[in-house]
Amino acid sequence: MNLESPQRLQPKDYASDQEVRWCPGCGDYAILKAVQKTLADGGADPANTVFVSGIGCAARFPYYLETYGFHTIHGRAPAFATGIKLANPALDVWVVGGDGDMLSIGGNQLMHALRRNVDLNILLFNNEIYGLTKGQYSPTSRLGTRSPSTPQGSVDRPVSALAFGLGSGARFVARSFDTAQKHLPEVLKRARTFKGAALVEILQNCIVYNDNAFAHITERDVALERQLFVEHGKPLLFAGGRKGLRVKPGALKLEVVEVGEGGPAAAGVLNHDETDADLAHLLVKLEPPAFPVAFGVIYCDPVESYEAAVHRQTAEVRAKGRAADLAQLMRSGPTWTVG
């Protein structure tokens, strides 16, 4: 179906006519739904929306959306997207890939897209495994992961997607998970409206090769204790408001505190400041059991985006008025006439 106009569309209007080919029960379905909702909520014009992906289960994403889509090669989607955005800054460009695509083979492309702050919405589906190639461990797999390539368990420590993002100079990092059907579209909306490279880590369940990898965080019975939803300006509370995070006195660290009668402020609970890179550093690496996992927009501190700066600079050059006359350019410098 090709859509007529950007008038109010429903989530389902963003679905392409292609059959979705993920395994039944894969977390990718839920993410697809959340993205369709985000597009509909944002009134996205399909004609001006482009999904770019690398290779992997996650990277099949563009086929299922009735927008422009480019399924490229393994690990390089951020670079393709950079070219697209440079060529046409008016497009709303999304990048989708798995933990292998973005952090194994594609770490360099991701780093540089973040560092340059190209205006892209980058969705990293982290299932801590290579799905498409049938279950090898990935750079986000936990120590000791048994997989076809590590039958005795992996011996290398995982990288944290968001710590890597911050280390690379990202100006926007956020986290959500596949089944968070209210939270995820909210986060995606923030990413979409952020003018710059927005890195969103989405914890995603691979039901076939790494089932329940995040059950200890997302299961209903532990959710309250293990999930911290951050919001700019609001106190860092979890466990239904019973607990919060505060600065460990005299140290550069966070600690969990019980919120008593006096409320969060009295307990010294910190307010979330999404523009604070130092706080973001601490938040992205919180982990159970000692801490909850932080979800939401953890860091957001806009600066001029790359393609905007490039086009601004070009406009400045053109404004200075060197004529775009090739014949004249050829005649500049020494010439001579024969005959």
Partner 1 sequence: NETATAPGPVPVLRRELESAVVRFAGDSGDGMQLTGGQFTLETALAGNDLATFPDFPAEIRAPAGTTFGVSAFQINFGQRRIKTAGDAVDVLVAMNPAALKVDLKDVKPGGLLILDTGAFTDKNLAKAGFATNPLTDGSLDGYRRLDVDMSALTLEAVKHTGLGRKDALRCKNMWALGLVAWLFDRDRKPTQSYLERKFAKEPAILAANLAALNAGHAYGETAELGGEHLAFSVPPARIEPGLYRNITGTEALAWGLVFGGQLAGLPLWFCGYPITPASALLHTLANLKQFEVGTFQAEDEIAAISAAIGASYAGSLGVTSSSGPGIALKTEAIGLAIAAELPLVIVNSQRGGPSTGLPTKTEQSDLYQAVFGRNADAPLPVIASRSPGDCFDCAVEAVRIAVTYMTPVILLTDGYLANAAEPWKLPELSRYQAFPVRFHEAREGFHPFLRNAETLARVWAKPGTPGLTHRIGGLERDDKTGNISYDAENHHRMTKTRAAKVLGVADSLPPQGVEDGAGTGRLAVVGWGSTFGPISRAVSNLRAQGHDVSHIHLRHIWPLPKNLKALLAGFERVLVPEMNNGQLVTLLRAETLIDCRSLTKIAGRPFKIVEIEEAALALLENRR
Ligand X SMILES: Cc1ncc(C[n+]2csc(CCOP(=O)(O)OP(=O)(O)O)c2C)c(N)n1
Q: State the Cα angle at 34 between 204 and 66, rounded to 5°.
A: 110
Q: Is 317 in the site for its own copies (CB under 8 A)?
A: yes
Stretch that binds ligand X, among 5-13, 131-139, 193-201, 225-233 (CB under 6 A): 131-139
On whether the CB atoms of residues 259 and 240 are closer than 8 A, the answer is: no
Q: Which residue from 118, 39, 124 is spatially nearest to 85, judged by alpha carbons? A: 118
Q: Is 244 in the site for ligand X (CB under 6 A)?
A: no
SS3 call for 93? strand
With CB under 5 to 8 Å by kind, the binding choice for 101 among partner 1, its own copies, ligand X, none is ligand X
Distance CA 241, CA 221 (A): 16
Q: Which contiguous run of DSSP H or E holds residue 200? A: strand 198-203
With CB under 5 to 8 Å by kind, the binding choice for 331 among its own copies, partner 1, Mg ion, none is partner 1
Q: Is 158 in the site for its own copies (CB under 8 A)?
A: yes
With CB under 5 to 8 Å by kind, the binding choice for 66 among partner 1, Mg ion, its own copies, none is partner 1
With CB under 5 to 8 Å by kind, the binding choice for 28 among partner 1, ligand SF4, its own copies, none is ligand SF4
Q: Which residue from 116, 52, 103, 51 is spatially nearest to 75, judged by alpha carbons? A: 103
Structure tokens of 326?
């090739």
Stretch that binds partner 1, among 131-139, 213-221, 248-256, 272-280 (CB under 8 A): 131-139
Distance CA 67, CA 152 (A): 44
Identify any residues that bridge with 15 across adjacent strands, giving them in sequence order: 65
Q: Is 186 in the site for ligand SF4 (CB under 6 A)?
A: no
Q: Is 23 in the site for ligand SF4 (CB under 6 A)?
A: yes
Stretch that binds partner 1, among 214-222, 261-269, 297-305, 331-339 (CB under 8 A): 331-339
On whether the CB atoms of residues 299 and 172 are closer than 8 A, the answer is: yes
Q: Is 306 in the site for ligand SF4 (CB under 6 A)?
A: no
Contact residues for ligand X, defined by CB under 6 A: 55-58, 74, 97-101, 125, 127, 129-133, 138, 206
